[in-house]
């Protein structure tokens, strides 16, 4: 498999998904041309270094926000995101937000590069957060007036660029406003080989 075709996916999951035989998800993000275009990058621009890290962090926390949305009403919500690098097994969702994909086959746990989850103590905070907000409906992508992300660094980056017409000739969808999620705790990182530890960790109660 050519490494040129391998993409890094930030996959939204729930804690229960990690107890299945394999992973399935309708929401995954890739920092692709459409994702970049919606953040104001031209088709010729290829962010690198710290700039790319900021964008990948935004994709990670957007997937985490989707994970939390899927657990609205849960007594012990815990955000879960898996990161995988794949050359196939996923497809773009034209009706979704920029950079959104879904898995087209079950993802094997051996294919996961890393897991990003909440610590047990975060559950009660997330419940209060959900109750305070009523629900977690994000604005539709084309209704979001600003380019915002979980961290101040992303806000600074977004402020320096303006939306351009995408390489396909259509105006890109503005990314969802994630500023409301910036107050949530940071996610903890686990290596992809630590699935059993992640399961034990998520089974812990605050």
Domain locations in the chain? 3-203
164 within 8 A of 172, measured Cβ to Cβ:
yes
Q: Can you give the pLDDT at residue 4?
A: 67
Q: What is the mean pLDDT of the chain?
A: 80
Spatial neighbors of 186 by CB under 8 A, at least 6 apart, are none
164 within 8 A of 37, measured Cβ to Cβ:
yes
Q: If DSSP codes are grouped into helix, strand and coil, which group holds residue 165?
A: coil
Q: Can you give the pLDDT at residue 161?
A: 33
The residue ranges of the chain whose pLDDT is under 70 are: 1-4, 134-183, 205-206
Spatial neighbors of 147 by CB under 8 A, at least 6 apart, are 39, 40, 155, 158, 159, 161, 163, 174, 175
Which H or E element spans position 158? helix 152-159
pTM metric for this prediction? 0.77
Q: Can you give the pLDDT at residue 205?
A: 66
Q: Can you give the pLDDT at residue 103?
A: 98
Q: Can you give the pLDDT at residue 125?
A: 84
Residue 142 tokens read as: 């084309």
Q: Can you give the pLDDT at residue 206?
A: 60
């Amino acid at each position: 498999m050519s490494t040129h075709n391998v993409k890094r996916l930030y996959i939204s999951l729930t804690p229960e998904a990690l107890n299945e035989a394999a992973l399935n998800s309708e929401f995954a993000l890739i920092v692709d041309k459409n994702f970049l275009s919606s953040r104001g990058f031209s088709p010729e621009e290829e962010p690198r270094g710290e700039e790319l890290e900021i964008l990948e962090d935004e994709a990670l926390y957007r997937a985490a926000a989707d994970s939390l949305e899927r657990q609205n009403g849960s007594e012990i919500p815990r955000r879960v995101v898996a990161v995988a690098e794949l050359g196939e097994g996923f497809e773009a969702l034209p009706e979704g937000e920029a950079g959104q994909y879904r898995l087209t086959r079950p993802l094997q746990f051996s294919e996961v590069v890393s897991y990003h989850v909440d610590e047990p103590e975060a559950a009660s905070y997330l419940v209060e957060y959900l109750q305070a907000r009523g629900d977690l409906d994000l604005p539709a992508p084309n209704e979001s007036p600003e380019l915002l992300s979980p961290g101040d660094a992303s806000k600074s980056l977004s402020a320096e660029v303006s939306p351009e017409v995408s390489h396909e000739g259509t105006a890109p969808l503005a990314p969802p406003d994630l500023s409301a999620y910036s107050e949530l705790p940071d996610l903890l990182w686990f290596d992809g080989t630590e699935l059993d530890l992640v399961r034990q960790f998520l089974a812990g109660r605050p």
